[in-house]
């Protein structure tokens, strides 16, 4: 049985939700999958057949711990098949929803020196009731400027689950080759 490690870098849980969705799909295909926080992993071993990392954007970038993890594990990540997916609010927009046009992912590749075998760009969610005053105000302003929803009493999920399913299918295909 092939082993997959899925690591997430998430603050509000949407990236974890996507990881668990991918996990369920790949488990149905007969793969053995472990999902864990990137913050709980310092060094990975190369016993895995595939390593997937999912990370969300906050104020224009990924968290420092993601870059630190990749820096510490660059050799291991080059030794196995890998995937990366990005979660952000702007990815709900056509034109910002593929790896080739996502500025965050482009910057990430340059900064991390790591090019995963497969990449996905997914829209996340906006959970206004969860945010503190400052974050709620900032997100409302960003949403207003990008024609997004501004009702601060609501949760808005933009994730296109069919796109996530397709991504999981691509991983399965890579692993079966």
86 binds ligand FMN (CB under 6 A): no
Concatenate the DSSP letters of all residues of 14-70 into one string: HHHHHHHHHHHHHHHTT-EEEEEEGGG-SS--TT-SEEEEEEE-BTTB--HHHHHHH
As measured in angstroms, the least distance from the Cβ of 118 to ligand FMN is 19
25 binds ligand FMN (CB under 6 A): no
- Which of 4, 5, 7, 15 is close enough to bind ligand FMN by CB under 6 A? 15
The closest residue (CB) to ligand FMN is 124
As measured in angstroms, the least distance from the Cβ of 29 to ligand FMN is 24
CA dihedral 99, 101, 102, 103 (to 10 degrees): 130
Sign of the torsion formed by the C-alpha atoms of 77, 57, 19 and 161: negative
As measured in angstroms, the least distance from the Cβ of 106 to ligand FMN is 14
22 binds ligand FMN (CB under 6 A): no
Residue 125 β-bridge partners: 157
112 binds ligand FMN (CB under 6 A): no
* Terminal alpha carbon distance of the chain: 14
As measured in angstroms, the least distance from the Cβ of 59 to ligand FMN is 5
As measured in angstroms, the least distance from the Cβ of 36 to ligand FMN is 14
- Give the interface with ligand FMN as residue ranges (CB under 6 A): 10-15, 56-60, 87-90, 124-126, 131, 135, 139
């Amino acid at each position: 049985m092939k082993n997959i490690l899925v690591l997430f870098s998430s603050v509000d849980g949407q990236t974890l939700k996507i990881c668990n969705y991918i996990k369920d799909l790949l488990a149905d295909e007969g793969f053995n999958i472990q999902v864990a926080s990137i913050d709980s992993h310092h060094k990975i071993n190369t016993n895995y057949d595939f390593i997937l990392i999912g990370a969300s954007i906050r104020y224009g970038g990924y968290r420092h711990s993601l870059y630190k993890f990749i820096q510490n594990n660059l050799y291991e990540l080059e030794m196995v098949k890998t995937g990366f997916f990005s979660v952000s609010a702007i990815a709900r927009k056509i034109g910002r929803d593929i790896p080739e046009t996502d500025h965050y992912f482009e910057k990430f590749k340059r900064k991390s020196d790591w090019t995963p075998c497969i990449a996905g760009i997914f829209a996340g969610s906006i959970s206004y009731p969860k945010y503190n005053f400052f974050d709620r105000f900032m997100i409302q302003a960003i949403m207003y400027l990008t024609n997004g929803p501004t009702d601060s009493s609501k949760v808005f999920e933009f994730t296109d689950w069919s796109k996530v399913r397709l991504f999981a299918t691509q991983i399965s295909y890579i692993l079966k080759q």
